[in-house]
């Protein structure tokens, strides 16, 4: 099972938010989401937390691509324009530095017209644990 499929099954919050990994390889990862009524804030635009969740999922796919458990330790988001109900968002994560312990990534979230919605940077911490050694993933493998 690849990291995209794994995250699409185990990242329950991202799944609940309507986010899904659609592409992942050693150089980039893409997560996508359609903005629905449930994503809107009081200003009737996409809530920042929904945008962050989408970007965070793309980051997780890229930093965990090597099957070594990596958790986020620092992220920053800059909102550029608003996303609205019906927008189809694409978050593409690419490497800034694929360091063996502290990888860093940048993500551009764009809408269906290619307009930049937000820019996210993230850093992770790679643990000395294979993804296959985590209890949640072991349970998924057992059920298959």
pLDDT at position 131: 81
Counting the structural domains of the chain, the total is 1
pLDDT at position 10: 93
Say how far apart CA 107 and CA 28 lie, in whole Å.
10
Q: Which domain holds residue 119?
A: 3-143
**Over the Cα atoms of the chain, what is R_g?**
15
Say how far apart CA 63 and CA 143 lie, in whole Å.
25
Q: pTM of whole model > 0.75?
A: yes
Instruction: Tell me, rounded to whole angstroms, the distance of Cα 92 from its chain centroid.
Output: 9
pLDDT at position 133: 62
pLDDT at position 138: 46
Place of tokens 């993500």: 107
The residue among 50, 29, 31 whose CA lies nearest residue 39 is 50
The residue among 67, 83, 41, 51 whose CA lies nearest residue 126 is 67
Low-confidence residues in the chain, pLDDT < 50 = 137-144
- Copy the structure tokens of residue 67: 């099957």
Segment 33-64, tens digit of pLDDT = 999 999 999 999 999 999 999 999 999 999 99
Helix (H) or strand (E) holding 66: none
CATH number of residue 70's parent domain: 3.10.129.10
Q: What are phi and psi of 70, to 5 degrees?
A: -130, 130
Ranges of H-type helices in 2-64: 3-10, 12-16, 48-63
- Copy the structure tokens of residue 94: 């690419």
| DSSP three-state, residue 64 | coil
């Amino acid at each position: 099972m690849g990291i995209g499929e794994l995250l699409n099954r185990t990242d329950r919050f991202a799944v609940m938010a309507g986010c899904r990994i659609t592409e992942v390889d050693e150089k980039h990862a893409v997560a996508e989401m359609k903005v629905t009524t449930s994503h809107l804030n009081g200003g009737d635009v996409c809530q920042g937390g929904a945008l962050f969740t989408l970007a965070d999922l793309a980051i997780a796919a890229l930093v965990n691509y090597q099957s070594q458990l990596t958790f986020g330790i620092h992220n920053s988001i800059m909102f550029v324009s608003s996303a609205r109900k019906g927008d189809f968002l694409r978050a593409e994560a690419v490497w800034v530095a694929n360091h063996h312990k502290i990888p860093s990534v940048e993500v551009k979230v764009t809408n269906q017209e290619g307009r930049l919605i937000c820019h996210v940077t993230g850093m992770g911490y790679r643990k000395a644990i294979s993804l296959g050694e985590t209890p949640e993933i072991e349970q998924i493998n057992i059920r298959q």
